[in-house]
Amino acid sequence: MEQVITEKVYFYLRLKEEKGKEEALTWFRNGQGYKLNVEAWMPYFTLRKSFVVFAAWVENRYWGQKMVIEALSDARSVLVFKDHEMLRLYDVAGHLRPKISLEEYKELFEDQWRDRARWAGWDVQFAYDGYDTRMILKAAAFPS
């Protein structure tokens, strides 16, 4: 995971330098494709619930990141990255802090998840508690 995150951060910084911050963030927005994965892999629920279940499944089974579903409904859901590896890596991998601030590092993570959530009909807020990251999802309009 350290290599994946390092490459993402370095690529983001390079794009930001050449194209500007907004264009660099746009590069990592994959919400429309994420939605297609959700619909293909979790066709049993509404899109909003499927997004929550799929996100937890992918993070747990594919990435090895413990993610817990604390609440699940079409109006409000909560996902929690337990002992979030991305946050821990920022602290323990000494090469990241000199390159990117913690605020911008979180912004890169949050922007990608915001785009994914938007395509599934969610607005999302983030709350941090140590290395735990909570995503609080509230129903929103689906993008057109």
**Type and span of the H or E element at 124:** strand 122-129
Mean per-residue pLDDT, 116-143? 96
Mean per-residue pLDDT, 14-29? 97
Cβ 38 vs Cβ 50: under 8 Å: yes
SS3 42: coil
CATH code, residues 2-139: 3.30.1380.20
Give CA–CA dist 136/12, Å, rounded. 26
**Residue 53: predicted pLDDT:** 98
Please tell me whether the overall predicted TM-score, pTM, comes out greater than 0.95 for this model: no
C-alpha closest to that of 116 among 8, 38, 13, 9: 38
68: β partners: 80
Give the 3-state secondary structure percentages of the chain, helix then strand then coil, rounded to 5.
55, 20, 25
Residue 34 CB neighbours (<10 A) = 21
**Residue 103: predicted pLDDT:** 97
